[in-house]
Amino acid sequence: MKKIRIYLTTLGIVSLILLLINCSEDYLDVNPKASLSEESLATATGVDGILIGCYKAMTGSISGEYGGYRWGPFYDNVSDDRSTGTYNFQPTSNNDRWTYCYMVIQRCNDVLRVLKKAVEAGTVTEVEALQFEGEAKFIRGLFSMMYLVGTFGDMVPWVDETVTFTDGNYMIANDKSLWPLIESDLQFAANNLTETNAQVGRANEWAAKAFLAKAYIWQLKYSEANILLDDIIANGKTVNGLKYALNDQYWWNFNTVNKHGPECIFAIQNEVNTGGWGGNAADMYNGPYYGPASGCCGWLTPSEDLVNAYQTDEVTGLPKLFFEYRNSPIASDQGIKSSDPFTPPEVPLDSRLDWCVGRRGIPFLDWGNHPGMAWIRFPPTEGAYSAKKNIASQAKVAQERQNQQTTNAYNLMRYAEVLLMAAETEVEIGSLAKAEEYVNMVRARAANPVSWVYKYADDSKPMGGFSTTPAANYKVGLYSGQFDSNGKSYAREAVFFEYRLELALEHHRWNVLQRRNKLESGYMAETLNSYLEWRANLPGVVTNYVAPYLFVEGKHEIWPIPQTQIDLCVVDGQSILTQNPGY
């Protein structure tokens, strides 16, 4: 993607963004500095520049300064994949996520407004106009779905390009569902975007179809999703023209060299060494806290529950479903100093564990064997593990890491998720055998020894290559008729469990739990509270979870609308925003 920075573009970006974020006229009285008029930007080059600003904002660092990472793709910290989150959501918090979402959406609206003027002036072609509109609506629909709806629920204000200060229509109630509007945006993108593009960071028609299918699944519209997913699996291509397929090796999805291979549906691009804060800080903050592999902070560590979920049956190599894995916790080095001896357990494991999680005695990329507690920031409360996905390798750190960020693109969706979505639709409205086939396609890669983690050839020279000895006792089996023989409830559990194993720490877990909760009311509360209670009884682990911070059914499935927004969005003395239930 072209590296064009646009932090202030139009009057709309400076004033209307702030307006829509805070519903306050106070922000509108400040004249923007160094801004450009919409008329002067009404050219193909101008519209494309604003559009690049939309892509830029998706990194989570919208101001180009340190700190924006907090409002990017960051759900895992309140799920059972992390050892730190609680459910003490308060209306007095989360205003920054709300702000961030509407800023990105408003940049898309700026594209559409300026594009309309460019079309009227004849400075863009019809083909260019459809592509610009499709990309802007793709980002707007995607962000509305994954971050607004995924956080605050579907009853939030819909802000499109028709909302302006001049028209005085910026006070918008949250009295209708966003889903039809999200579908409309993504459908337009699917109908009008090109199949390929020379710039790999752009959206294409197949990415739009994939996220539209996800929007359908989120609403349990499985028949509509099934049609799209069949088409994507049969005919879909990446933006650089590769037929969709799984990468040969699981790890290739998380390093910059192979990031834009056949598995990439859509990835948010990042950059470092350019003088600003535009890198992948969200994932960087998850890495080890101490040691040479440290990106920064190690705040959001993988949970013991996630690690235990990778246990497999010693005979079949299949997962231990329905929380069976909690009956046999894997021994960790919790409370054991790195200077004291510890032998990693030899229980059968899914090979994906050691690409997702750094654990004692296992090679951590090319940085050396993970030393355990020496790399953990708060061992008593955060457990014994480090996040590993998207961490820069030692060989590439000079090019890929700077200022507590990494240039590694963030996979917002990859083909493995498409296969699992297809499996989910087949379970709910189709064939259990077909669903099993799709799940096995994903599992087959994890079962293939070429995709495993191996011990170093020489532990003292981690950059010197790997041996032919697996780093752990990997045993991954394929299903063989269990979906049909055990029925729909078993098949559903297997599909949703595979989401967790395949997509761990990629910031999808919370939304997957939300979706299953729609199928099985109370599932989120049961899953998350049982996790907190299970963890509280682990030896050597200190927790601060008490009853007020447990998950409350009918409330915590979504977060509260920030009270700041409710207080600011007032018409005739009454707020037009209704708070989410329970808050």
- The DSSP call for residue 146 is I
Q: Which CATH number applies to 281-549?
A: 1.25.40.390
Q: Express each pLDDT in 406-450 by its tens digit.
A: 777 889 999 999 999 999 999 999 999 999 999 999 999 999 999
Query: What stretch(es) of the chain map to CATH 1.25.40.890?
Result: 7-193+552-583
Domain at 7-193+552-583: CATH architecture: Alpha Horseshoe (1.25)
Per-residue pLDDT reduced to its tens digit, 545-580: 655 678 999 999 999 999 999 999 999 999 999 999
Distance of CA 65 to the CA centre of its chain: 21
**279-301 residue pLDDT tens:** 666 666 677 888 888 867 777 78
Could you tell me the two tokens for 338? Answer: 């790195």
In sequence order, the 6+-apart residues with CB closer than 8 A to the CB of 332 are: 304, 307, 359, 360, 383, 384, 385
Query: Contact at 8 Å (CB) between 132 and 111?
Result: yes
Q: How do residues 329-373 score in pLDDT, each as one tens digit? A: 999 998 899 999 999 899 999 999 999 999 999 999 999 999 999
Question: DSSP per residue over 155-214, as a string?
Answer: -S----TT--TTTT-------S-SHHHHHHHHHHHHHHS-S--SSTTS--HHHHHHHHHH
- The Cβ of residue 322 has, within 10 Å, a number of other Cβ atoms equal to 12
Average pLDDT, whole number, for the chain? 87
Q: What is the DSSP string of 111-125?
A: HHHHHHHHHHHT-S-
Q: How confident is the model at residue 60 (pLDDT cuts 50, 70, 90)?
A: confident
What residue spans in the chain does CATH classification 1.25.40.390 cover?
281-549
- pTM, 2 dp: 0.92
Span 517-526, average pLDDT: 96
256 falls in which pLDDT band (50, 70, 90)?
confident
pLDDT at position 284 is 64
How confident is the model over 66-75, as pLDDT tens digits? 444 444 455 5
188-228 pLDDT, tens per residue?
999 999 999 999 999 999 999 999 999 999 999 999 999 99
Q: Does residue 25 or residue 122 have the better pLDDT?
A: 122
Query: Cα-atom radius of gyration of the chain, to the nearest Å?
Result: 24
